[in-house]
Structure 1
Amino acid sequence: MDPDDKHGTAEKMSDNLPQTIGIDISKASLDCHVHPAGAERQFANTAKGHKALIAWLRQWPVERIAYEATATYHRALEAALADWPCVKLNPERARRFAQATGTLAKTDRIDAMLLARMAATLQPPVRPARSAQQAQMAELINARDGLVRDRTALALYMPALVAARYNPDLKAKYQQLVTARKPAKIAITAVMRKLVVTANALLKADRCWTQSPA
């Protein structure tokens, strides 16, 4: 028996009923609840934690996995569960469900339980699992996006180096960051950004660059 589980593995595996998984997502952790089996477990919200979660999920006939949309904390998990039947619930709708069921207490474990019960009760449509072709296409798109970012950075790097040495305004910006003990890479990246912002402003105003007055 897994000491981290609320119920024994043997008991869970003997239950062939479709199970709904509720996951409460925070920056550091994932609190999970299985309905109606009642099992609970917490995982780290990291790549390693996502792998452990998926291995744990394989013991049940999972019908749907429910979680709330967060600012950014759900994105990596969402990608890891791309081949699972997932439902992304609206936080406001989940709050109303909690009020309707009279659940006033609020902890990560209770939130996970509520998400599981809500998805099992309302049965919202699940996101279809990606086909092998779709998964391959997603990988290619991610690779292309990375190459585009690298190309843009390389295109700006040398102009930023020159500007940090010869452009009075940008040289002052670079020296200010270096004096503040910022790493050289951070300082030159700031110059790159300032260079792009300045160039866009000049193009928009249809004018040439002039040195800022001392």
Structure 2
Amino acid sequence: METIVAQNVGVDISKSTLDVHLHPAGIARQFANDANGIKALLGWLGDRDIARIVFEPTGPYHHRLERRLGDAGLPLAKVNPLQARRFAQAAGAHAKTDAIDAAMLARMGALLTPPVRQITSEAIDDMRELHIARLALIKDRTAARNREHACRSPLLKRHAAQRLTRIDRQIAAIDAALNARLQTDPELVSRFEILISIPGVGALTAMIMLIEMPELGQLESKQVASLAGLAPQARDSRQYRGKRHIRGGRAVLSQALYMPALVATRFNVDLKAKYQTMVTAGKPPKVAITAIMRKLIVLANTLLKADRKWINKAA
């Protein structure tokens, strides 16, 4: 009786092509990165036993492929490009071509078994695109403010002020579009209302939490803290015990949690007590704030998992 071996599929995505490799079968093919090419890829995969399809995010070029494969019910594993490159280096692959990269992604899927995750909803996809544009405008606004402050010429100051006015209008338009898109998805609205019930978490922070971590409510506490980049990482070796540091994770999310954590140290009874206990015990304020950020994201995950809003114990 023939044994069917599950295949790990590596897909290297470029603007015009999809290089595909099956491991351990060792079969490689190339498809066009368009609607017809993706349809042909789905047909080629056919009834194969697929363990996971491993690919790297490539901006606008991977979106259509991810959506079509996800809608077809295939197991998708989107991996960090830096992690994939380091795996290739560790495997001794010095050459780099699209076909080699596809093979390396397939091998990485077999050896490291990156987690398979469901694709996000179309609403989240649309909101993420808007949020990325908003982040770019925030950077533009900071640069324009710096130019306005540094300029001596009245003309240049006027140009900078006009630019700031345009940026503010564009940010306001994106905020309105984000809210409008949110309202089209009742489940997202329910999750949003739970998040904003937490003292310190405003509308924008709740939006970012939904966009940057759609898995919230489906994870364990340690997983949430790690994904957010707020879990202390050990640096120990034999008798040496190094200081714990946070690193990695989803930087946009962790940055968005900083100000809500500050607010929570004043208005959230539980988190205020936690912060004061840590500071009284001699912890640096920055370390205490990081702990509150971690508590916030864990609290959000717990409330979403229980499908309930935050309740003020002092009430």
* CA distance in structure 1 between the partners assigned to 2:14 and 2:167 by the alignment: 38
* CA distance in structure 2 between the partners assigned to 1:199 and 1:111 by the alignment: 42
Change (3 A) 1:54 1:198: closer
Pairwise CA distance, 1:72: 1.6
The one-letter code sitting in structure 2 at the alignment partner of 1:42 is: Q
Largest Rg, 1 or 2: 1
* CA distance in structure 2 between the partners assigned to 1:125 and 1:198 by the alignment: 39
Change (3 A) 1:92 1:198: closer
Match of 1:25 in 2: 13
Match of 1:64 in 2: 52
Change (3 A) 1:129 1:94: closer
Range with bigger deviation, 24-33 or 58-67: 58-67
Q: Which of 66, 81, 89 pairs up with 2:79? A: 89
* CA distance in structure 1 between the partners assigned to 2:42 and 2:113 by the alignment: 21
Alignment of 1:77 with 2:62, yes or no, is: no
Q: Which of 99, 112, 115 pairs up with 1:122? A: 112
The one-letter code sitting in structure 1 at the alignment partner of 2:57 is: A
- Return the TM-score normalized by structure 1: 0.55
Contiguous gaps of at least 5 residues in structure 1: 1-13, 146-193, 204-214
SS of residue in 1 equivalent to 2:18: strand
- Number of paired residues? 131
State whether residues 67 and 119 of structure 2, in contact with CA within 8 Å, keep that contact through their aligned partners in structure 1.
Answer: no
* CA distance in structure 2 between the partners assigned to 1:108 and 1:33 by the alignment: 10
Change (3 A) 1:198 1:129: closer
Change (3 A) 1:118 1:68: same
Q: Which of 8, 24, 37 pairs up with 1:49? A: 37
* CA distance in structure 2 between the partners assigned to 1:199 and 1:40 by the alignment: 49
Change (3 A) 1:15 1:35: farther
Match of 2:102 in 1: 112
Change (3 A) 1:58 1:99: same
Pairwise CA distance, 1:62: 0.5
State whether residues 15 and 37 of structure 1, in contact with CA within 8 Å, keep that contact through their aligned partners in structure 2.
Answer: no
Change (3 A) 1:129 1:92: closer
* CA distance in structure 1 between the partners assigned to 2:62 and 2:106 by the alignment: 16
Pairwise CA distance, 1:60: 1.3
* CA distance in structure 2 between the partners assigned to 1:200 and 1:122 by the alignment: 46
The one-letter code sitting in structure 1 at the alignment partner of 2:95 is: A
Change (3 A) 1:199 1:66: closer
* CA distance in structure 2 between the partners assigned to 1:70 and 1:26 by the alignment: 8
Higher RCO (CA 8 Å, separation ≥ 6 residues): 1
